[in-house]
Every structure is written in structure tokens, then in C-alpha cells.
Amino acid sequence: MSQMTPEETQVTAWLAARKDAMVALLRELVDTDSGSYDKAGVDRAGQVLARFHESNGLSVEIVPDARYGDAVKARLPNPAANDQRPVLLLGHRDTVFPEGEPTRRPFTIKGSRAYGPGVADMKGGLVIEAFVAAAFAANGGLSAPLMMLTTSDEEIASPSSRPIIEAAAREARCVFNAEPSRLPAGTTSAADHKQSITSGRKGGVFMRAEFTGKAAHSGANYEKGVSAIVDLGHKIPKLQGLTDLERGVTVNVGLIGGGQTVNTVAPHAWCEIDLRYVTAAQRDELVEAIRAIVETPVVEGAGGKLTIRGEFVPLERTPESLALFETYRDAAAGYGISVVAEFTGGCADSGFTAAQGCPTLCSVGPIGGMAHTPDEFLEVESLVPAAQTLALAVMRTAARME
């Protein structure tokens, strides 16, 4: 455990006095509707953050997007460090929830936990990143440039934000992505002083398969029809059968649909497929295997077409990312928090930054759980320690890489 410098002590003490303000910003963000397809709502959440940044001395740039929410970039003024590569704090403002969810289920605190749509995934992370940047601005800056980038479409595989994220990663020296951290197995709350973050993630490909057949009256002309639903039905077990848990590969047919009426041989059907994999070679192999199943008819006369709707690349462990983890773990130890790094099957924007060769650490946000469900929670007492740990990790990384 490293001894804190006077500058580190000053920054972390500033954060220690901001718990109520963190909760207030978290409440405002959670109660701002921001489903991925709600551009106006995601932009309102961006405006909340932009106002916070500007009021704390950061410069803000809005990167407009016609379809999804705008990206928001905030930079910490530091003229002496302008010729250096920035530390990038990354996050997303969108959630998976339908419009009106915050009205039905607003931000609440029960006991030691906060609840509400997106409270952990990942509005809690946005809060600590914003306060870390504000802490640097209020206490003499940072020895390297700092950029905070919040995007609008991570929950749908970042169709608009990916090139913005990749460009920021090419500019950056390292990335901290404040997706929620987790409670390790055997722990029940932040009071246990244990935390699990992410050092590796699977890649994911999200696909839609469309099947065509030929309509016919199911009573009078059954034999003249070609059922797209029957063709799909034969293929579902074949698709699921590509799963290989030992290799870390899963294929899930998560949605299906089709047909015209109950008394019509189905002229069309569809399914949506989720592929998770570990290596790039697996990705290419499995996509081709899925395509072959979808596009090879089982029912004579049927047709199939596979389309990739979105994808994430893996967050692969590297010596540089492991060094970043060691810095973070040492910072957390100063607060008596034991941190472990895990590999997870979940996907995130951190894979895009790592693929650009930028050392990346993910899930450095406050402790949370049950993401994407009505039971999603955030451990309120983890807000300040998560912010302090992130601030120390950023300061120490910046100092070593001058």
C-alpha cells in the first residue's frame, strides 16, 4: 500500500466531504429518463452532466448525433499538460428501460442501498467520474490531461458512439470505465470492504435471422405452403448446439416470432441471436457457423438471411491493463478495500478502447447489482470510496506516465 502524497490527501479529503452532493446528482440522473432509443431523454441526462462539469471548471464539447443521444466530452483545463496524452474516464448515460420508468420507479434509498433505473448501470459510475474530475479542478489540477466521455447507446452495442470511443482511446494513455463494480462471492454489502472489478470481458455479436416461406390456407391448401416457422424451429436447437462452455462460447436464441394467422402456413419468421466469445478467431468461426445454419434450408423452399445488428469486441487482458489493475488495487487498499479482478461474459465499451491498444480497466464504479431489472441497486456507502480510489489511481497513473 503506497503512502499518500499531500496532493492525494487533499483530493481524497475533498471527495470525502461530497457524499450528499454525489447522492443528489445520482438522484437527478436516475430520475432523468434515458432509454437508449429516447434521444431527448439521453440528451437531458447529458445536459445534467454538462452543467455539472461547467459549474466545476471543466470545458464541455457536445458531439451531436441525429439518431441517438449526443456524446458529451469534458476536459480538465491544464495548459502545462496539453502536449501529453489524456487519461480517459469513460461511461454511458443510456439505460435498458422503457420510457416512463423513472416515473413509475423513481430513485429511492432503502437502508444502505439506492434503487432506480440505471442506478448502478451506470449512473453511479457517471457520478463518481464527474466528482473525480471536479476534485482535480478544485485542488490544483492533474499532472496529465483528463477527458471524460459519456455516450448514449452502449446498451444497444454503441452503433453511433463506437467511432467516437475508438478515436478517444487512440488519443488516451489509459482508460477507466466506471461500469458498476460488484460484491464478490460471500459478501453482502459495501461494509464488507471487498470489491470485484473487471479485467477481461467476452466479445458479443447480436444478430437477427429472417426466414421466408410461402403462405397457404392451412386447411384447404396445406401442402402448397412452406412454413418459415417450421424451418426456424428445426434450426433453433442447431444454433443453441454451437454453445461450448469449455471454450467460453455461448449462443442464445433469445427472441423468436413469425406467422400471419393461426390458419395460415407461416410465410415469415424471425429470431434474434446472442453470441458470446473469448477470442477473435472464435468470433469469425461462430458467425460463419451461425450463418450456415440460418441460410441453409431445412424445409424445402424456405429461405434464411442473417444480419449482424451490433457487436462488442472482447476486453482482453494485457500486461499494461494488469499494471493498471495493480495501481487501482493498491489505491483501494488504502481504504481497507480488498479488490479482485474477474473475467466476465458481459460486454461493454471497454472492449473498444482495449482493441485500440489503450490500457483499460473496467467496472471501477460504485458497487451495484441486479442490473437491467427492477431490483437494480447501488451500495450508497461505496460512492465515496469508489471516487477516492479512482482519483488515486488516476493521479498515480498520470504521475508515472509523464
pLDDT in tens, 342-377: 999 989 999 999 999 999 999 999 999 999 999 999
Question: pLDDT tens-digit profile of 298-332?
Answer: 999 999 999 999 999 999 889 999 999 999 999 99
pLDDT at residue 402 is higher than 60: no
pLDDT at residue 3 is higher than 90: no
- Average pLDDT estimate for 374-400: 96
Q: Where does the chain hold its CATH 3.40.630.10 domain(s)? A: 6-201+315-400
Confidence of residue 81 (pLDDT cuts 50, 70, 90): low
pLDDT at residue 130 is higher than 90: yes
Label residue 189 exposed, middle or buried (CB < 10 Å: 0-12, 13-18, 19+). middle
Strand ranges in 85-244 using DSSP code E only, listed in sequence order: 87-92, 108-110, 113-115, 146-151, 174-177, 194-201, 203-212, 216-217
Q: Cell numbers of 280, please?
A: 477473435
Confidence of residue 381 (pLDDT cuts 50, 70, 90): very high
pLDDT at res. 352: 96
pLDDT at res. 8: 96
Confidence of residue 191 (pLDDT cuts 50, 70, 90): confident
Confidence of residue 193 (pLDDT cuts 50, 70, 90): confident
In whole angstroms, give the CA distance from residue 107 to residue 26.
8
How large a percentage of the chain has pLDDT more than 70? 98
pLDDT at res. 184: 87
Q: Which residues pair with 149 in a beta bridge?
A: 73, 90
pLDDT at res. 1: 60
Rg, the chain, Cα only: 23
Q: Which amino acid is at 363?
A: S
Cα–Cα distances (Å) from 44 to 54, 146, 363, 369, in that order, read: 15, 23, 24, 25
Superfamily of segment(s) 6-201+315-400: Zn peptidases (3.40.630.10)
pLDDT at res. 322: 94
Burial track 23-41 (b if 16+ CB lie within 10 A, e otherwise):
bebbbbbbbbbbbbebbeb
pLDDT at residue 257 is higher than 90: yes
Q: Where does the chain hold its CATH 3.30.70.360 domain(s)? A: 203-312
Cα–Cα distances (Å) from 313 to 35, 158, 230, 356, in that order, read: 23, 11, 33, 11
| CATH class of the domain comprising 203-312 | alpha beta
Confidence of residue 80 (pLDDT cuts 50, 70, 90): low
Q: What is the mean pLDDT of the chain?
A: 95
pLDDT at res. 82: 58
pLDDT at res. 78: 74
Confidence of residue 189 (pLDDT cuts 50, 70, 90): confident
pLDDT at residue 20 is higher than 70: yes
pTM for this predicted structure: 0.90
Confidence of residue 399 (pLDDT cuts 50, 70, 90): confident
In whole angstroms, give the CA distance from residue 308 to residue 310.
6
